[in-house]
A and B are shown apart, each in its own frame.
Chain A
Amino acid sequence: MCGIIGITSLPNNLREPIGKVVRRCLERLEYRGYDSVGIAVIKNNYIEVRKGKGKISEVNSRLNFDGVDGTTAMGHTRWATHGKPSDDNSHPHTDCSGTVAVIHNGIISNFLELKEELIKKGHVFKSETDTEIVAHLIEEYLKLGYRPFDAFKAALSKLRGAYAFVVAIAQEPNRLYFARNTSPLVIGIGNGTNFVASDIPAFLEYTNTVIVLRDGEYGYIEPGKVYIERNGVPINIEERIRLISWTPEMASKEGYPHFMLKEIHEQPLAINSTLAGIEEGAFNKVVNAILDSRKILIIGAGTSYHAGLVGDYLLTSMLGLDTHTLISSEYRKYLNAVNDGDTVIAISQSGETIDTLVAVRAFKERGAKIIAISNVIDSAIPRESNYVLYTRAGPEIGVAATKTFTTQLTVLTILALKIGVATGKLTTNEYRSAMDMIGKIPGLLQNVITKTEGKVKALSEHMSKKQSAYYLGRGIGVPLSMEGALKLKEIAYIHAEAYPAGESKHGPIALVEENYPVVFSILDDDNADAMLGNVMEMKARDAYIIGLVPDKYVGKFRELLNVTLEMPSIDYRVAPVIYIVPMQLLAYYTAVARGYDPDKPRNLAKTVTVE
C-alpha cells in the first residue's frame, strides 16, 4: 500500500510553494505507507525529483520539499513491496531522459517481462521497483511519435495487476495523467487547482468537491479541467461530482469503523499474500541453519513473543529440538548459554523493536546465527540478521497486533513443517497434508469470522461489564490463550490472565466465582479429555464459560458452556492461526461496548506507527 497525490494549479493560485502543499497532503496519507517519500515538480522541459528513504518529516528536513515551487507536482509515500526501501526505490520514478515521472500504488504483475523487453530496447533502469517500467514504457511510445495521452493509454494497455498511477510528462507542463484499476484514486476539484489522490482527506483542506474514480477509469487533470474516460468513452464529469459535507476521516478504513476490525477481517488476505510471497530459497537456508545448530532461542516482545511460544511448541514437541523462547528484554538470562553454533529466531512485526534489536546484537556477539521474522522489508532487525523470513501482512495501523500475529504463526508453522520433513520426523505425506491444510487456512478463517462475529458481538455486551477474566488452554492452546488474554487487556482494559488449564486448580481458581468469565481454547489434540475436566471444575464454581471447540467435540462440551464458539476440526498444529480470531474479535467488540477506541489503546504505541 502506498499514498499518492498529484496537484495542478494556475500560477500563484496557491498561497505557498507547491512542494509544501504536496508535503502537507502526503502527511495525511502517511497511514498508507511510511518507509520512503518523494516529490516531483515539472520545470521547463524537465522534471525535478526529490526523494529518499525515511519518514516524511525526516526526508523533508533533508531535501527541503517545502522550498520547491512550480505549478504541477506530485508526491508519494511508500510501503515497500517490490524492492527494499531505499533512495533509489523511492517514488517518483523517471524514464531515461528524465521527462516522464510516475508514482504508483499497487502491484504490476507482468512487470518482469515488460522490463526485459525494455532493457533489450536499451532502457536503463535505476531501481528494483515494478513502477519504473511505466515511465520507460511511456518514453518508448513517445519516441515512436505518440502524443502524450496516446502514449499513456498505450502503456496502460500493456499493464496487468492492481494499480493507481499518476504520471507527469514534461512536454505538457500543466497536466497530470492518472489511471485507476483496483487501487483507490479520487479527484479533488478546486478553484484553479485540481488534485488527484489516494483518498479524500489528502486534499480536503483545499477542496471538498470530489469525483471518486471507478475501476478502469483514466484521464488527466489540468488547473481548470478534469477529463475522464473509460474504454475510450468520455465520462460525464458533472454527474459524478460530489460535495463532501462531512469529515471523511474513516475513508482510509475501507468500510470498517476501526483499523483493528479492518485488519482482523484482512487476515485471510494477509495469509494468502504471506503464502504467495514465500521464497523457497530463503526457507531452505533457514532450515539448514537450524539443522546445523545445537540450540534454538526464540525472542520477541508482546504478541511476537506469543507467536514465538507457538513456534517453540511445534519445534519442541513435534521435532524434539532444544528450543527456548524468551521475552526480548530478558535476554541476559541466556547470554552465557548461547554460543557459536546456536540459532536465534528474532520475531518483530516492525523489525525495529528496540528490546529485540538489543537482544539480537548481544546474541550475535556471542556467535549465534540470527534469523529474523518481520513484516517490514529491510528494517533494522532483518538488516542485522543472517537470514530473513518476511510475513507479507501489509501495514498494520491498529496498535493491537492481529494480522501480523497470524502471519507470523503461518511462517513459523511452515518453518517447523519444513524442518520436520528435512529431519525425517515428518513423512513426506504428513508434510504434504499439513501444507495442504495451511493452504486452506484463508478460507477456513473467513468462515470462522462469518460464523462467530455475531455471537462474539453479543457476548461482548456481557464481557464489557466484567473486571477480570481467565483464558485457559493446554499444549499449543497455552500461548494461544496468552495472546487472547493480552488482546483483552490491551484494548478493552479488562484484567485477563492466561494459564495452562491444568495449573488453574493450583491457585488461580480461587478467584473464580459466579459468572466469572473463563475462555477455554479446546483443540483437536490429545488434551481434549483433560480439558473437559477443567471445564467441569469451572462449571462447578458457576463460572461464565466461553469455549472455542472443534465441531466434532461440540456435543461433548455444549451443555457445560455458556457460549460455544464452533471451530473447524483441524490439525492442532495449524489451528492457532484460526483460533485466535474469535478472541481478537472478542477483545475488539468488548472495547467498543465499553466505549474505548481499539485503535488507540492508552499508554501503548507501536514501534513504528503513524503519529
Chain B
Amino acid sequence: MAYSREVIGVVLGGGRGTNMEPLTPYLEKPLIMVLGKPLIYYPVRNLAWLGLRNIYIISRNPLRISNELGHYFDKVSLESIGQRGDDINSALKMVNEITSKGTTIISFGDVVLPQEAYELALNSHVNSGKPVTVLMTPLSDLQGYFEVQINDDVLINKVSEHRAGYAWTGVLIAEKEFLTLLSEFNGDINETLKRFKGNVNTALWSGWFVDVSYPWDLLSTIRYLVSDLRETRISKDADVSPRAIIEGPVIIDEGARIDHGAIIRGPVYIGRNAYIGNNSIIRNNTSLEGEAVIGADAEITESLIGYRATVGRGSFIGSSVIGDESTVEPGVVTLNVLPSGIEVSHLSPVIVKGKQLAKLGAIVGPKARIGANTVIYPGTIIEHSKYIQPLSILK
C-alpha cells in the first residue's frame, strides 16, 4: 500500500495483568469474559463502530485472541500480532511497524469506555490538526493510573500519589510522525510527547471509564456496561418459565434456562446455556457468563459469575467475582460491606450510618471449591483450584 487514507486501530492487549493474578492462571486478562464477551472485545468494538476497517491487536497470545474475536466483526479486517517484550513500551514501539501513513488510534485492551469517548477523541484529533491527541478523564484518586499532566507540556506519568486530577484513558491518537519518533525513543511516551511540546492535543472525557487492573474493577465494568441497556432482550432459544419474574433491562442469551419462581431484576446479563434455579433472585449489575449454574433459592447481586461456575442452593453472593469453573457449595454467604478505613474510590460505595463504605465481597479464583455453609468476610481472595472445607469462616 503506497499510502492509506484510512484511520487504523491498534489495541494493546499484552499486559502482564499482575494485579489480576487470582483470576488469570489459565487465561490472560484480555480474555476474561464480561457480559458474554472477552474484555478486549470492548475496545475493538469501539474502533469498529467508528468505521475503522483495519484493526490490529498486539498481545501475548495472538492465536487465541483472533479465535475469540474473529466471529464478532465481519466488516473489519482484524489482525492479531504477537508482542515482543514484556512491557507497554515494547508494545508501543511495535505500533510504528504495523501502521502505514494514516492516523492511528492506539487503545489499551483493558480499558473499557463507551463509544462516545472514542468519537470525542477522534473528532477532537481531526479538528485540532495536531500530530497527537491524548484522551483523558478527571478522577478523584489517581492511584494506579497514568496521570496526564498538562501544565506546560502534556505528559503521561504512572503515579501512585492519591490526589484528584486527570487520568489517561488509554486512548491515544497519533499521526505517523509521532509514531516514528515513539519507536525511536523505544516506546517511551513521555520522551516523545516532550518533543512535541505545545503540539499535543488533549480531549477531556466526562462520562464513565474503567481501567480493569484489579479483579473488583470487573464489577464496575459490569455496572457501567449494563447501565447502557435500555430494553430487555430474550433469545428465542432461551427457556424462561412463565412463572419467573423479569424486571428492568435484562439480556438472556440463547439456551439459558430460568426456572419457576426465579426473579431477575435488571440490569442483568444471563449468558448462553446458563441455568437459574427455582425461587432464586438475580439482582442488578450482575453478569452470569455462559453455562453458569445458580441453585434454587440463591441470591446474587452486583457480581460476576464466571463461565461454568456453580453457585449452590441458598447461597448469597454479593459484590463478588466467582472465577470460571469454580463451585460454591450450598449455603455459602459472602459479606460485602468493607469496614471503614478502606479506600473506596474504585469500589462501589454504600452509605452506612452516614459513613461511606466500600462494597466488596469475595474474589474466587477459577476451579476453586468452597465448602457448604462457609461464611466469607468482605474482601477475601481465594486462590484458584483451592478447596475450602465446609463450615469455614474466611476472614
Contacts and interface: CB of A to CB of B under 8 A. Distances in A.
Residue picked from A244, A247, A255, A515, most chain B C-beta under 10 Å: A255
Contacts of A459: 140
Nearest to B151: A450
A41 interface: no
A562 B124 contact: no
Interface stretch (B60-68, B204-212, B304-312, B377-385): B204-212
A241 B4 CA distance: 9
A47 B165 CA distance: 53
B244 to A, nearest CB: 28
Contact of B164 (A199, A243, A250, A454): A454
Nearest to B103: A242
A199 B129 contact: no
Interface residues of A, number: 52
Contacts of B164: 451-455
A589 interface: yes
Nearest to A452: B164
Given A246-B50, A457-B139, A450 B126 contact: no
Interface string A232-257: 00000011011111111111111111
A246 B119 contact: yes
17 contacts: A180-B129, A186-B129, A212-B129, A239-B3, A245-B51, A245-B52, A248-B123, A250-B119, A250-B120, A251-B123, A255-B202, A257-B204, A257-B207, A261-B204, A450-B166, A451-B165, A592-B206
A93 interface: no
Nearest to B7: A242
Contacts of B207: 257, 592
Contacts of A261: 204, 206
A255 B124 contact: yes
Given A261-B206, A450-B166, A454-B138, A184 B3 contact: no
A242 B130 contact: no
A542 interface: yes
Given A199-B127, A542-B354, A454 B165 contact: yes
B345 interface: yes
A210 interface: yes
A257 B115 CA distance: 12
Contact of B51 (A180, A241, A246): A246
Residue picked from B5, B50, B206, B345, most chain A C-beta under 10 Å: B206
Interface of B: 2-3, 5-7, 50-52, 101-103, 116, 119-120, 122-124, 126-130, 133, 137-142, 164-166, 176, 201-207, 345, 349, 351, 353-354, 356
Given A200-B127, A255-B203, A592-B207, A457 B138 contact: yes
A242 B102 contact: yes
B5 A241 contact: yes
A457 B51 contact: no
Given A251-B127, A514-B354, A243 B6 contact: yes
Given A245-B51, A515-B351, A562-B356, A257 B116 contact: yes
Contacts of A457: 137-140, 206
Given A243-B7, A251-B127, A258-B206, 5 more contacts: A184-B127, A245-B51, A247-B119, A256-B206, A453-B166
A454 B139 contact: yes
Interface in A340-394: none
Given A243-B6, A589-B206, A515 B126 contact: no
B132 to A, nearest CB: 12
A257 B141 contact: no
A254 B166 CA distance: 17
Nearest to B228: A595
Contacts of A249: 123
Contacts, number: 129
Nearest to B164: A454
A609 interface: no
Main secondary structure of the interface of B (DSSP, over half): mixed
Nearest to B119: A246
Contacts of B141: 454, 458
B127 A450 contact: no
A455 to B, nearest CB: 5
Contacts of B139: 454, 457-458
B138 A257 contact: no
Contacts of B101: 239
B200 to A, nearest CB: 11
A1 B176 CA distance: 31
Contacts of B138: 453-454, 456-457
Interface in A64-85: none
A458 B345 contact: yes
Contacts of A253: 123-124
A455 B202 CA distance: 20
A257 B6 contact: no
Given A238-B3, A255-B120, A450-B166, A200 B126 contact: yes
A542 B127 CA distance: 48
A246 B129 CA distance: 17
Contacts of B354: 514-515, 542, 544, 562
A370 to B, nearest CB: 40
B204 A256 contact: yes
A248 B127 contact: yes
Nearest to A589: B206
A211 B133 CA distance: 17
B204 A250 contact: no
B126 A244 contact: yes
Nearest to B137: A457
A242 B7 CA distance: 7
Given A212-B129, A213-B129, A454-B165, A246 B204 contact: no
Contacts of B51: 245-246
A250 B126 contact: no
B103 to A, nearest CB: 6
Given A214-B130, A245-B52, A454 B7 contact: no
A255 B201 CA distance: 8
A88 interface: no
B116 A210 contact: no
A199 B176 CA distance: 23
Contacts of B130: 214
Contacts of A455: 140, 164
Interface in A193-233: 199-200, 209-210, 212-215
Contacts of A588: 206
**Nearest 6 pairs of A and B residues by beta carbon:** A245-B51, A454-B164, A255-B124, A255-B203, A458-B140, A453-B138
Contact of B206 (A251, A257, A544): A257
A175 interface: no
A246 B356 contact: no
Nearest to B354: A542
A573 interface: no
B284 to A, nearest CB: 13
Contact of B129 (A184, A247, A462, A515): A184
A244 B124 CA distance: 13
B120 A215 contact: no
A515 B128 CA distance: 44
B221 to A, nearest CB: 15
A32 interface: no
A402 to B, nearest CB: 14
